[in-house]
Structure 1
Amino acid sequence: MNFKELGISENIIKVLKQNGIMEPTPVQAESISLIKAGKDVIAEAQTGTGKTLAFLLPIFENISPKVDAVQALIITPTRELAIQITEEAKKLNSAKDVNILAAYGGKDIGSQLKKLQGSIHLIIATPGRLIDHLERKTVNLSKLKTLVLDEADQMLLMGFKNEVEAIMKEIPKKRQTLCFSATLDAQVKKLAYRYMKDPVTVSIEKEEITLSNIKQYVVETTDRRKQDSLCAALDQDNPFMAIIFCRTKRRANDLEMALARRGYNCEKLHSDVMQSKRERIMKAFRNADFQYLIATDVAARGLDISGVSHIYNYDIPETVESYIHRIGRTGRAGEEGYTCMFVDPKDMRALEEIEKTIQFKIPRRTIDLEDKKL
């Protein structure tokens, strides 16, 4: 199945090729025709499977720039995701003249209001900022045709249920609703079925994107020696670009200071970092201007950065799902990925749970700290 067979027009296929996208991913192959035909779709697919284009491509096919109204709305939980979806949409827009508004916190609302005085066809928004516009009556969604709930599981986890319900009251009952989520738990299904009409479920097997081309290792250490073990691993591996995951913002702050003191080229990313700075950091990391991005799960949710060769789990993730999300950021597009997780004695139970779920005993890596000048 290629993009042409899925009904994507030649000028958009040309843009995809310019960006190195030749073949649809499984979630795109299964979703695009359904969405294009106007069906409601619930899609379960992990980060890194190409789900952003799975909904953007049919939206771009269906939008008419001649109609002076908001025709599609994409709601996403974090500013980073809103930025990322907007970047993808702007690339496609070189093939079609669609007016796009990105509405998220941290972005000057004045410039957003100014832009809204023109004609907007597509809005990409975080729930809070969209509610803001709805209350100011600066957005009119009365002619909306397609609504996308992106990362629905994360939206609920972050407590946006009330905002989503408030937005639903402002949009036409007769519309297309698309729900994309990494996991289809009971809460997501309840939300989806409440607002959808005879939805078709698209579920992409997790194994397709997990683990097959990712080398996984565990380093058994103690919390006191963890930093030294990480630095020894970084020195041995010297990765091209790596993401180092921490459990909390405080841990990320402390680790960034410690690594910077030791001379590592790194930046941190979490929800307390100002929006303008976050955008600068992400741009610099995509350009490989620095080597190590230290991030929390929420800040890194959905970030799709090519060139990440290594993932280091400085802190063990809280769930197996989170582990799979984290390591899925390497080993993209057929490249081999490498991951390393640092566990101390109190993490052993969580490690056993991860190994049981992925049905794989993760090999242990020995780090010799004696040779390292600390």
Structure 2
Amino acid sequence: MDIFRTLAGGGTRFDKRRFQNDLKIFGGADEASTSSTSVSSRQASSGKHKRAAADSARSTKSASNGAKVIVPDGLDFFGSAAKAKSTTSAIEREERLSNKKGKRKAAEVESDNTESDSDEEEEGCTDEPPVTKANLSAFLKKHKLKTKGTDVPLPMASWAELESRFSVSPWLRNNLKKYGWEVPTAIQKGAMPVILADRDLLAGAPTGSGKTLAFLLPLLHHLRAPNKKENFRAVIVSPTRELAQQIYEQLKRLSEGRNFRICVLTKTADASAVAKGDDIRKRKKFDILITTPLRLVHAVEKEEADLSNVRHLVLDEADRLLEEGFLEQTDSILAACSHPELRKALFSATLPAGVEEMAKTFMVDECRVIVGTKDSATETIQQELQFVGSEDGKLHALRSLIQEGGLKPPVLLFVQSIDRAKDLFHELVYDGLHVDVIHSDRPKLQREGVISAFKRGDVWVLICTELMARGIDFRGVQLVINYDFPQSVQSYIHRIGRTGRAGRQGRAITYFTKEDAIHLKTVVNVMRQSGCDVPQWMLELKNPNKKERKKLKQKAPERKEIRTSAASSVGRRLANKKRDMVAASKRRKVEDDNKGTTSGNRA
């Protein structure tokens, strides 16, 4: 690899001819020869004559004569000193290989910096034998799959079975290959055959494990092709508009070339750009509807949307949709989907017992597919608990992490309320961080702008509430910090699940105070199930009782205002002073304009 080409990736040119003697320290005589034929010939002759002396002395003089230079390990940043004989042909071979890989990954670049839950391959063999009743037990154990139900369809071992077992159209296979889905993940292997077999499904898998693709592909298979005569044939419900938009983006990639008519219905828009700006009442003929629950309920009540023809209903983040805040809306949606052949699929990273019991009341002969341990986090996340004493200690711990170099962007920082998100933003913005905040009080356009800036890398630290804890996949999030202790085990799993996605490594730090200690064991249990090292004293903590868990889930504890830094207080006062000056200037201008208008009327 040409390390100077890598260093100059931003467009800077490196003059190898001018710095040829320095270049040979890293690349050897052969690499230097690519910059000048005449120089290399002189180096070759002199290098041969002086090689013995150079090897014994290991001096800088040996470098100027084309001999191999031994660089200390601490200075050999690129591992190139031991490879001084690497030739131009080796570099060319690597470039050719890189070009081939580049073509295969071109689609990933087009899809910006965010991908849905299933955008990476699962590690493992790509040519596993098909699953039979004989090897089923071993297959389930290998992939940590648990299935339950009557005649549950056998899992699939590879994408090849889509055609051989289910006659999935070749265009779907082609789109899988085009966008880099080369190997199905565990949840895809277990859940897809159930939906393809036209069965109701209750599925649970860790965050970032590929749940979105697990229901999108079977859904497109059942729809076959666009149908201009029928109304909505499939509905996907998600708790947030951001997740709805993300599902839409992945669906467009997977359905590329088929012209399915897809409508995104959220609180702030009747239809997405797919509807070309038309009012939904004028364009009811869509194949697929992606929506948030409240907006869909309003559309049904106003007779803007007719769900009587829906054959496939997917509840993404089902645990949230079946909680008190969304339960009534979800019931209304289920009642509106009145087709006798309706099939339902529920997906979530966490499946509390109450949610499962509720789901069974409206599902028919359902199959249950779980990956790993129920209510567990992915094993690729390094989870840490940090005692900070009090609320003031949180900000001190965070600033210490920044100064020690432990805050490696991109970072998501979770707090329990909108007010605390604003307070923390006002503290950190004066620390020189590229920080921003996102919450439901901000307008849709502002939220979209913040998300785009975070994807581009313009924002390093994004402060957020529970809004961003579910489903949203920012590619490459290095660190998640729970500034405020999560209110439930489900909240904790969804929060930290924004990192360590699709097999990548991630880190999650949770701050806790003396007031949070009573609920500490809920997080400790998740850490233990995920294989994290937990101190013995934490394992011996008492589990909070049902009443305590319910109380915390319903109402967040009152916390002290986030404001400890004198420096940031000064900065805040300056900002407020500037704001007041601008406001006063505007008032004076308005008053002057009013006076001018009054005098003009008198004249």
TM-score (norm 2): 0.57
Aligned to 1:73: 235
Letter of the 2:490 counterpart: E
1:5 is paired with a residue whose SS is helix
The reply on whether 1:2 has 2:162 as its aligned counterpart is no
Letter of the 1:334 counterpart: G
Distance 2:490 2:329 in 1: 25
Aligned to 1:103: 265
Higher relative contact order (CA 8 A, sep 6+): 1
Return 67-76 or 209-218, whichever deviates more: 209-218
Distance 1:354 1:220 in 2: 13
The reply on whether 1:177 has 2:336 as its aligned counterpart is no
Distance 2:521 2:345 in 1: 36
Distance 1:349 1:21 in 2: 43
Distance 2:180 2:236 in 1: 24
The reply on whether 1:126 has 2:292 as its aligned counterpart is yes
Distance 2:265 2:288 in 1: 11
1:154 Cα offset (Å): 0.4
Choose 1 or 2 for highest CA Rg: 2
Letter of the 1:205 counterpart: G
The reply on whether 1:198 has 2:369 as its aligned counterpart is no
User: Aligned ranges for residues 147-226 of structure 1 at < 5 Å?
Assistant: 147-157=313-323, 159-171=325-337, 172-206=339-373, 210-221=377-388, 222-226=390-394
Aligned to 2:484: 315
TM-score (norm 1): 0.89
1:139 Cα offset (Å): 1.7
Distance 2:383 2:391 in 1: 20
Aligned residues: percent identity? 33
Give 1 or 2: higher helix fraction: 2
Letter of the 1:321 counterpart: Q
Aligned to 2:466: 297
1:351 Cα offset (Å): 2.5
Instruction: Identify if the C-alpha distance between structure 1 residues 24 and 150 changes in structure 2 by more than 3 Å, giving closer, same or farther.
Output: same
Q: Deviations over 1:125-166 (max 9, x none)?
A: 111111222122222222211111221210122522222222
Letter of the 1:272 counterpart: D
1:204 Cα offset (Å): 1.4
Letter of the 2:296 counterpart: L
1:207 Cα offset (Å): 8.1
1:269 Cα offset (Å): 1.8
Aligned to 2:191: 31
1:343 Cα offset (Å): 2.0
Distance 2:534 2:437 in 1: 27
1:74 is paired with a residue whose SS is strand
Count of matched residue positions in the alignment of Structure 1 and Structure 2: 365
Return 272-281 or 82-91, whichever deviates more: 272-281
Distance 1:337 1:73 in 2: 33
Aligned to 1:367: none
2:299 is paired with a residue whose SS is helix
Letter of the 2:372 counterpart: E
1:340 Cα offset (Å): 1.8
Instruction: Identify if the C-alpha distance between structure 1 residues 147 and 211 changes in structure 2 by more than 3 Å, giving closer, same or farther.
Output: closer
1:124 Cα offset (Å): 0.5
Distance 1:151 1:272 in 2: 22
User: Aligned ranges for residues 31-50 of structure 1 at < 5 Å?
Assistant: 31-50=191-210
1:118 Cα offset (Å): 5.8
Distance 2:174 2:256 in 1: 10
Aligned to 1:91: 253
Return 274-283 or 94-103, whichever deviates more: 274-283
Instruction: Identify if the C-alpha distance between structure 1 residues 169 and 211 changes in structure 2 by more than 3 Å, giving closer, same or farther.
Output: closer
Give 2:172's match in structure 1, choosing from 12, 15, 18.
Answer: 12
Unaligned runs of 5+ in 2: 1-156, 536-566, 569-603
Q: Deviations over 1:97-147 (max 9, x none)?
A: 110000011225694624851630000111111122212222222221111
Letter of the 1:4 counterpart: A
1:219 Cα offset (Å): 2.8
1:180 is paired with a residue whose SS is strand
2:519 is paired with a residue whose SS is helix
Aligned to 1:370: none
Instruction: Identify if the C-alpha distance between structure 1 residues 112 and 28 changes in structure 2 by more than 3 Å, giving closer, same or farther.
Output: farther
